[in-house]
Amino acid sequence: MPKTVARQQYRPTAADLLAARERTLRDVIAPGLDVLFCGINPGLYSAATGFHFARPGNRFWPALHTGGFTPRRFDPSEGRALLALGYGVTNIVARTTATAVELSLDELRSGKKRLERAVKRYRPRIVAIVGITAYRAAFDRPDATLGEQPERLFDSMLWVLPNTSGLNAHHQAPDFERAFSELRAAVQRLKRRARPATR
pLDDT digits (tens, 9 = 90+) for 61-113: 999 999 999 999 999 999 999 999 999 999 999 999 988 889 999 999 999 99
Q: Could you report the per-residue pLDDT of 165-190, keeping only the tens digit for each? A: 988 878 899 999 999 999 999 999 99
Range of the domain at 50: 27-194
Tell me, yes or no, whether 171 lies in a domain.
Answer: yes
Within a domain: 21? no
For residue 158, give the CATH number of its domain: 3.40.470.10
For position 9, what pLDDT does the model report? 56
Residue 160 is assigned to a structural domain of this protein = yes
Domain assignment present for residue 98? The answer is yes
Q: Can you tell me the distance from the alpha carbon of 159 to that of 185, in angstroms, rounded to the nearest whole number?
A: 12
Count of structural domains, the chain: 1
**pLDDT band with cut points at 50, 70 and 90 for residue 196:** low
Distance CA 115, CA 122 (A): 10
Spatial contact of 161 and 53, defined as CB atoms under 8 Å apart: no
Where on the phi/psi map is residue 74: left (φ > 0), alpha (ψ -120 to 50), or beta?
Answer: beta
